[in-house]
Structure 1
Amino acid sequence: MSRTMSDRFGIELGDVPDHYAALHPQRMAVVYPDGESITWSDLAARSNARAAVLRSMGVRPGDMVTIALPNSCDYYTYSFAVWKLGATPNFVSHKLPPNEIASICALASPRVVIGDIALAGPGMQVLSPDLPCDTAFGARIAAVTPRYWKAATSGGSTGVPKIIVDRRPFNPASMTAPDPGSSFIAPGPLYHNAPFMGSHVALARGCLVAGMRRFDAEQTLRMIDQYAIEHVSLVPTMMHRIWTLPDEVKRRYRLDSVRKVWHYGAPIAPWLKERWIDWLGAEKIWEFYGSTEYLGATAIRGDEWLARKGSVGRLVGGGAMKVLRPDGGECPPGEVGELYFLPPDPAQRPYHYVGAQSRTAEGGWESVGDMGYVDGDGYLFLADRRVDLILRGGANIYPAEIEAAIDAFPGVRASLVVGLRHEDLGEVPHAIVEVADARSFAAPAMVAHLRSHLAPYKLPATLEIVETGLKDDAGKARRVAVRDERRAWVAEGRHLDRFIAVHHA
């Protein structure tokens, strides 16, 4: 259950805008490209007005409110409005088709959906963002402590939606939190957990928050320079796109204000991390591994990582971690298995699912399906997701390893490796490679590059060169949907003019 913030800051989560508006009303709270911004005074006035509207629609403490909005300064007026009423924001992608929104709403049972009116289904109340915000609609509404402070939506690895309700108290002093009164940028979509959590924690600490409607590599550098950003939150896909900008573009922007870059969300290729360490300094590059469920977490700073390249660090925040074989036996150091965590207080679960069942082991241990190993000193090294594992003729192949090798080749914007069925071997890897110009891309040269970086059995059996986006702005891909689509193509013979066979010597 979420507890009041008064123990630390003397304010409730929903009162954050009012608190800072009283201290410095005309200071910018949130800035976006092209001059879009909102002051603390405006954020407080709008969140109170939104809360009054939501209350008139029947929102009460303990309710769920689904937010399906694109990134903007105004997004925060809705999230704080929901918290003012003691309700829980359930944030989802505004890009989902109505039938998927309906599936999520069937789980969440929200009192109101905030988003496009086209999302309205039977029995749904929808608050359209197109309605004007009348700040004179109501006076300040004193915040009520929400039972749960957020509820993230995930398709998981199965493609079936589930809601992850955070049962922990809101903690604006977490390890990854920016310094109070500093500046923070999280250019990812707010319908993902890390950007949502990071930006709201930053606001709770009185920080200037910079965002963007859609991630753009150069725009990120421009905003860091323009607003002297001190704390940066990225995923490896963003780091790759920034690093592959021409050197003359990167040199246009000053980054000396940056104190910490936190990256998370997916394994990072060691070569890419080394480039960022060389660029900004090892002491500024931090990695965080954890799940939305927050069963356990690890962290590592760049200088520590250089001594153990590939590690995501040691356990932080208490609790315990172990690696299990499929038969339930514990793996010795160095052996890959499934990661299980035990929270510091197993009686106080950090989350609960709506629409899914937890994966548990005896004694209260839980897993979200990640694979990896721990060395003799307790440093964790990730392999991949359990369900993404490709079993080729009895040999385990981890897509993340192949993707890292592909992404290191010049001209590659992103990649995705999925397993396709094979009559003899069971499964073989198929690599989808996103580039700017498919016609001019040197696929044979990339295959030669892969041969020098991967064991022969790990080489993709087929390639597919595309120009469309494989991953969203948070570096996430709908892997199961992509895999199933390609398997259907193969079954129907529609892959022949799309796939490039890779010769295995």
Structure 2
Amino acid sequence: MVLLARWARETPDKVAAHFPDIGKSMTFDALDARSNRAAQWLIALGLEPGDGIALLMDNRPEFIELAFACRRAGLYYTPLSVHLRPQEVAYMMRDAAAKAIIVSPGVADLATALLREGAVGEVPRFAVGEGVDGYRSYDEALSAHPAPARLPERPVGREFLYSSGTTGLPKGIKRPMVAWENRTAPEWDMTWKSLYGFGPDTVYLSPAPLYHAAPHTFTIRRTITEGGTAVVMAKFDPLRALEMIERYRITHSQWVPTMFVRLLALPDADRTRFDLSSHRCAIHAAAPCPVGVKQRMMEWWGPIIWEYYAGSESVGTTVISPQDWLAHPGTVGRPVNGVKLHICDDDGNELPVGEVGRICFEGAPRFDYHNAPEKTAGAYNGRGWASLGDLGRVDEDGFLFLSDRRADLILSGGVNIYPAEIEAAIARHPEVAEVAVVGIPNADFGEQVHAAIVPRDPRADTRALQAALEALCKDQLAGPKRPRSWEFVDELPRSEAGKLLRRILKERYLSPS
């Protein structure tokens, strides 16, 4: 908040954010002024410090100006996925106690469905841009506050995010606001700044939706707040992403592994015709990246690819540099910020190096799931160590290697089988673009290992490929770990954040046909 005003004074004409797909840009001066006016409007609606609103918007400038407006007005704001169903929006608005909702024309169908099904109740509702039927005009509302004005001294508002869990209803993570008098204090976690080199010279490419936690944080808090420029794509397109890097001289970016797969699938002529020399830091997370995919990306882009493992809960973070990853392929790094990493069994006992167990962190600030004390309690063990529910192991140098989520563990004939180990073996085959391994019902063993494959060539002879993969698995995997069934698909089901949705693959096998 304070820093935005600083950049507006020092670099008023510098672009804070480009939206090339809709032909719009926003300078720091304009962002500062618009967010001040929007903050005035929100306060005039009667919203008190600590109240919240919901944003149901695709990637456009108003998303960013409203985020800063909420920070200035001492409000929480909850970004909602544009792919939610009306009942899911209703649940999240009710759980977050949102007192207003603002939508964009790009989600008009969903916004209309919310009205039809009574999902937003009687809360004030507004639409930006050209508007949506049944929603009041945001621009007209702002016209009552035509100029920036002094705002009351309120705590610094912030995002109120919901985890993108692959099962059940999303869980809210509501963190305390920073008091007005502490508004210039640095964040608890500033490691990203020294590791990745964010600053006023940053030009950051966001190819993902701003309502997701990582794109939201990197765009708003780590680029614009630090005086850098964000380039926000409407949606990911591999060829257009490369074009953006060249056109805007992108320095930093963030991706999920499926984007790497699509980038690598481009013809060589397309992959080599853009000047990517400005690109010095590419960050990825959200889902495990196959070793072969990341190696190919390193060969193409050079050793600029950083990876981290974390969650919206911020219970702990590991980071791996390009150089360390090349020396330890497959790792997601070592913990940062003084947090300690532990691998534990089901009883909370720490396991030796090399053994797979629950990944736990010690030393991070405590968090709570909003209105879900039982889920909060389940995230901590008896020693107070927190976990995201993932399984992994550490090597002798302390580098973490992910295995799976506990919910994805396959139990076959009393043997614990970790899909990630099998996927890593299969992904080494040059004709495999993506692979997912799940457990499906088996009358004799309880579950059997099933592999879903996306061939690199859609016209591949799948019988021959299956035979080759069976031979590879026989050579590299113990008997119980080898897939007993196979399928070849055009794509794997993933969440908007790039996380593999194994349950979608399993569902077709859960009931007899």
- Alignment correspondent of 2:162: 153
Report the count of equivalent residues: 472
How big is each residue's C-alpha offset from its partner over 1:126-172, in whole Å with a ceiling of 9 and x where there is no partner? 22232352564313253755466222112424322211223486739
Aligned residue in 2 for 1:25: 12
Aligned to 1:140: 148
Q: Which residue identity does 2:366 align to in structure 1?
A: R
- The 5 A counterparts of 1:327-406 are 327-344=347-364, 348-350=365-367, 352-355=369-372, 356-358=375-377, 359-404=379-424
Q: Contact 1:148 / 1:165 at 8 angstroms: preserved in 2?
A: no
Cα shift readout 1:440-461 (whole Å, capped 9, x = no counterpart): 3432243234331552533444
Cα distance in structure 2, aligned partners of 1:285 and 1:32: 24
Query: Could you list the per-position Cα deviations for residues 281-326 of structure 1 after superposition, in whole angstroms to 9, with x for gaps in the alignment?
Result: 22x2211111211111111112112222221111111121111112
- Correspondence 1:259 to 2:280: yes
- 1:446 lines up with 2:449 in the alignment: no
Greater CA deviation, 441-450 or 406-415?
406-415
The farther-off stretch of 230-239 and 170-179 is: 170-179
Instruction: State yes or no: 1:312 paired with 2:295.
Output: no
Q: In 1, are the aligned partners of 2:95 and 2:371 still within 8 Å (CA)?
A: yes
| CA distance, structure 2, for counterparts of residue 255 and residue 361 of structure 1 | 46
2:33 pairs, out of 37, 45, 65, with 45
Stretch moving more, 266-275 or 428-437:
428-437
Contact 2:368–2:376 (8 Å) recurs in 1: no
2:302 aligned residue: 281
> RMSD over aligned Cα, in angstroms?
2.7
Alignment identity in percent?
35
2:190 maps to which residue? 174
Paired position in structure 2 for 1:4: none
Quote the offset at 1:257 in angstroms. Answer: 0.5
> Of 190, 200, 203, which aligns to 2:224?
203
| Residue 247 (structure 2) aligned to one of 191, 205, 226 | 226
The residue aligned with 1:486 is: 508
**Partner-residue secondary structure (3-state), 1:89:** strand
| Structure-1 residue corresponding to 2:493 | 470
The 8 Å contact of residues 493 and 505 in structure 2, kept in 1 or not, is answered as no
What SS does the aligned partner of 1:22 have?
A: helix
- Structure 1 residues 48 and 147 mapped into 2: Cα distance closer, same or farther (>3 Å)? closer
Correspondence for 1:191 among 204, 211, 219: 211
How has the CA–CA distance of structure 1 residues 218 and 328 changed in structure 2, closer, same or farther, with 3 Å as cutoff? same
- DSSP 3-state at the match of 1:105: helix
Question: Residue 81 of structure 1: CA displacement?
Answer: 1.6
Structure with more of its chain in helix, by fraction: 2
Give the aligned partner of residue 124 of structure 2: 125
Structure 2: tracts of 5 or more residues without a match: 104-110, 132-136, 179-185
- Summarize the Cα distance change of 1:437–1:314 in structure 2 as closer, same or farther, 3 Å threshold: closer
Give the secondary-structure state (helix, strand or coil) at the position aligned to 2:260.
helix
The one-character-per-residue Cα deviations of 1:237-261 (angstroms, maximum 9, x if unpaired) are 1122112211111111111101111
Aligned partner of residue 343 in structure 2, secondary structure: strand
2:493·2:502 contact (CA, 8 Å) conserved in 1?
Answer: no
CA contact (8 A) 1:312 1:379 kept: yes
Report the equivalent of 1:247: 268
Distance 1:173 1:360, change over 3 A: closer
Structure 1 residue 209: deviation in Å? 0.3
Counterpart contact for 2:72–2:157, Cα < 8 Å: no
Distance 1:467 1:173, change over 3 A: same
C-alpha offsets along residues 82-127 of structure 1, whole Å, 9 cap, x if unaligned?
2121011222202101011111122111111222354343233322
Q: Deviations over 1:148-204 (max 9, x none)?
A: 622211242432221122348673972334233321112112222111111112110
CA contact (8 A) 1:61 1:144 kept: no
Residues 146/249 of structure 1: CA separation in 2 closer, same or farther (3 Å cut):
farther
In 2, distance between residues paired with 1:328 and 1:472?
30
- Alpha-carbon distance, 1:402 to partner: 4.1
CA contact (8 A) 2:156 2:177 kept: no
Q: Secondary structure at the match of 2:139?
A: coil
- AA at the equivalent of 1:392: S
370 and 173 in structure 1: CA distance in 2 versus 1, 3 angstrom threshold: closer
Contact persistence 1:415–1:470 (CA under 8 A): no
Which is worse superposed, 405-414 or 183-192? 405-414
Task: Give a deviation string over 1:354-402, Cα, whole Å, max 9, x none.
Answer: 4333421122111110111112221111111111111222233333344
**Is residue 160–residue 175 contact of structure 2 (8 Å, CA) maintained in 1?**
yes
Q: Greater CA deviation, 428-437 or 353-362?
A: 428-437
- How far does residue 208 in structure 1 lie from its aligned partner after superposition? 0.7
Other-structure match for 1:500: none
Letter matched to residue 262 of structure 2: R
Question: Structure 1 CA distance, aligned partners of 2:24 and 2:122?
Answer: 35
**Does the residue aligned with 2:499 lie in a helix, a strand or coil?**
coil
